[in-house]
Each structure stands twice: as structure tokens, then as C-alpha cells.
Amino acid sequence: MPHNDQPIDIREAGITETDVLSLSNLMTELGYETALDEMKIRLTHIQKHGDYKTFLATINNKVVGMVGMTWNYSYEQNGIYVRVLAFVIAQGYRQDGIGTQLMKASEQWARKIGANRILLNCGNREERKIAQSFYKKIGYQIKSTGYVKKL
């Protein structure tokens, strides 16, 4: 058990003041400045869709990490897949096994809904090197390069 042997609990996010504030802070840590009202709007939309899932990692009821996912059908392969859209562990709680537990919960959810793979993107900036190593360590492989165009 990480962090002074405190147990990690994994649970679904809700549209509560605590969860919205925690997610707003985590998105900001991830590099996406997010105001509280913006996060509430985003989470409200996300929660309305059954094809999304948001798990939170907590220690003593404090949110210390999150993973947000959605599932989709493929054009190029049979079956469905899960895409990790957001994944972050709070500063001070990293490299304590929390990320591994969140990703295991993601994989369990993916299997439960019949998905046959999980996809995720990770930035190629220097500050993402540790995240890239983490994904490789837990069995993810580099398969593509992502592109983005703002509209």
C-alpha cells in the first residue's frame, strides 16, 4: 500500500462539489487550466452519456487521481475499444501505485463492457516522459502518432 500504508479506494465520480473541485484541480495539474464552473459543465455532460466512465482514486476520502474514458466502435477492426481521455495523479501521490490501480480499474471496466483493447494518447513533451515510461511498464505499446488541429 502506498502513501504511508493508506488504502487506495477506486470509485466512480459524481457531480458533487468535492468531485467537481477535485477534477478541476487535477485537470489544471495535467496542464489544462480549468475553472470550477467549467468542470461542472463538462462533468454534467459526460455523466449524461452511458458510454463514458470516470473513476477517482481516493485516500482517506481525498481525491488523488482520476481516469476518464469512453468506449467506441472501430471502423478498422471488429469489436469495441475504450479510449482513455484523461488520466492524472495528484502531485505528491505519483509513483505510489495509484495510477496502476486506476488503469486496472479501467481495464476491468473495458472487459466488462466487452472491449477488446484500450487506446490512449500521451503527449511527447519532456514533462510526459515519466508517463510514457509508466504506460510501457504496465504493458501499453506505442502504435501511432497523434495529430490535432484547432478549429
What CA–CA distance (Å, rounded) separates 146 from 133? 18
Q: Is the dihedral of CA 102, 25, 120, 126 positive or negative?
A: negative
pLDDT of 7 strictly over 90: yes
- Of 17 and 121, which is predicted with more confidence? 17
- Looking at residue 148, what is its pLDDT? 75
Cell of 83: 479510449
**Which DSSP letter does residue 104 get?**
H
For 112-150, the pLDDT digits (tens) are 999 999 988 776 767 667 777 777 888 878 777 777 778
- Looking at residue 3, what is its pLDDT? 61
pLDDT confidence of 1, banded at 50, 70, 90? Answer: very low
Cell of 74: 472501430
Residue ranges of alpha helices (H) inside the chain are 2-5, 17-29, 36-47, 98-112, 129-137
For 27-85, the pLDDT digits (tens) are 999 889 999 999 999 999 999 999 999 999 999 999 999 999 999 999 989 999 999 99
